[in-house]
Amino acid sequence: MADSHDKTNSASGEPAPRLSAGETAQLVEAIAGLAMSELPLSAGLRATAEEIPHRRLAAAMRHVAADLNRGVPLDAAIDGAGRNVPNYVRGLILAGLRTGRVAHVLEELVAMDRDRVDLRRRITAALAYPTILFVLLLGMFVVASRVVISFAKVYDEFGVELPTITSMVLHTMYWFRYSGLGTMLLGLGIVVPSMVLLLAIPKPAELQRACYRVPVVGPLWRWQSLVDFSRLMYLLLDRQVPMSEALRLTADGLRWSDLAEVSRLCAQEIDQGMGLAESMAKHPEFPASIHPVIASGIKAQQPSEAFRAAAEMYRRRAGVDTVLWEAVLPPILLVLVAFGVSFLLVAMFLPLIKLISALT
């Protein structure tokens, strides 16, 4: 019989697939749904694998089902199903098995993944509106530059003295027509892919800290990172995982490299005899608002509840910031556009009014 950790499952006859992060989340979500409904996991996974169109995910489900039929524990079956299953997922499942609350653990993991997807969607939406508006403005500038230069030729033929505001607009339009458009398109081609990469790829800790200072999206990233950290700590501590081990498993599960780095440092300091509150207070990655929450939880001998309260606190902050930007950013941009169009019209029609007055 093949070992439970082998990457080829003899019962299914398929090689273990390499799952992406999204496919791993879907696998955990499917298992969580079956566990919550109290249906047999093996039969349910086989049935689900027959219905889904994703071949790698279906193969992973068949692997888990085959391993469970052979008596392999759930955490080992998930580990053997794909080669990208994170350590924190295995740790949480083991903790859930110890406390008999596997379904609840998996449900929380699914909720965390949905929160990440929702944050990514909101950030994308916040960036999409200014990007689309910027592209539309470029189109308007292309049209406006042709019209404005035509006006300039008329004014030049009649020898009209141009006001300063009109001269500024003409210089801008000449620059835009002959070199500015290419510069702006190049900038757009650099900025948009860069923002997409910042959203999608893992970042070094120093770059992650710098990202928190980006307007609009930076604070959202910051609050969500603290939500993820606090929720993972709550899940692990609530399942009686030792504090230093919980911090290491949390570091494995965080996509926020700065908090992952400092979580491992806190685990080392706790192993050396330092208290959790004292260790967290040493590191600026943890804001001042979290310290009294954790300290009160430790004093009450309920650190898991303290992290649960912290996760809810930062989740609300992220929600408030998101709603604020979604409500405020569009009208601000529209006001700026309206001001720019008004400025352009005034600048171009002032000499025309002067010319008409001179001719009459």
Give the domain-ending residue among 42, 66, 85: 85
CB atoms within 10 A of CB 87: 13
Specify the DSSP class assigned to residue 180.
Answer: I
The answer to whether the beta carbons of residues 315 and 227 sit under 8 Å apart is yes
Asked whether the predicted pLDDT for residue 261 surpasses 70, the reply is yes
Q: Answer yes or no: is 196 within a domain.
A: yes
Q: What is the pLDDT of residues 208-228, one digit of tens each?
A: 888 888 877 788 889 989 998
Q: Are residues 73 and 159 in the same domain?
A: no
Q: What is the pLDDT of residues 173-208, one digit of tens each?
A: 777 777 666 666 666 677 667 766 666 666 778 878
Q: Answer yes or no: is 256 within a domain.
A: yes
Q: Are residues 63 and 131 in the same domain?
A: no
Give the domain-ending residue among 44, 69, 85: 85
Residue with tokens 């689900």: 48
Give the pLDDT confidence score for residue 229 in this predicted structure: 93
Q: What is the pLDDT of residues 291-323, one digit of tens each?
A: 999 999 999 999 999 999 999 999 888 888 877
Q: Are residues 118 and 77 in the same domain?
A: no
Over residues 17-27, mean pLDDT: 67
Residues with Cβ within 8 Å of 129's Cβ and at least 6 positions away in sequence, in order, are 329, 330, 333
Q: Are residues 68 and 150 in the same domain?
A: no
Confidence of residue 12 (pLDDT cuts 50, 70, 90): very low
Lowest-pLDDT choice from 81-90, 93-102, 211-220, 252-261: 81-90
Q: Are residues 298 and 187 in the same domain?
A: yes
Q: Are residues 76 and 128 in the same domain?
A: no
Domain count for the chain: 2
Strand, helix or coil for residue 8: strand
- Which residue type is seen at 352? L
Q: Are residues 168 and 44 in the same domain?
A: no
Q: Are residues 148 and 202 in the same domain?
A: yes
Q: Are residues 230 and 308 in the same domain?
A: yes
Q: Answer yes or no: is 9 within a domain.
A: no
Specify the DSSP class assigned to residue 86.
Answer: -
Q: Are residues 195 and 152 in the same domain?
A: yes
Q: Answer yes or no: is 97 within a domain.
A: no
Domain at 283, CATH number: 1.20.81.30
Per the structure, the complete domain to which residue 212 belongs is given by 112-360
Q: Answer yes or no: is 353 within a domain.
A: yes
Residue 209's alpha-carbon distances to 15, 94, 126, 222, 307, in angstroms, are: 40, 32, 20, 9, 22
Q: What is the rounded average pLDDT for all residues in the chain?
A: 78
Q: Answer yes or no: is 160 within a domain.
A: yes
- Which residue type is seen at 206? E
Give the pLDDT confidence score for residue 271 in this predicted structure: 94
Q: Are residues 56 and 164 in the same domain?
A: no
68, 114, 77, 75: which is closest to 95 by C-alpha?
75
Residue with tokens 């350590």: 87
CB atoms within 10 A of CB 188: 14
Q: Are residues 69 and 147 in the same domain?
A: no
Q: Answer yes or no: is 65 within a domain.
A: yes
Residue 8 pairs in a beta bridge with: 15
Q: Answer yes or no: is 3 within a domain.
A: no
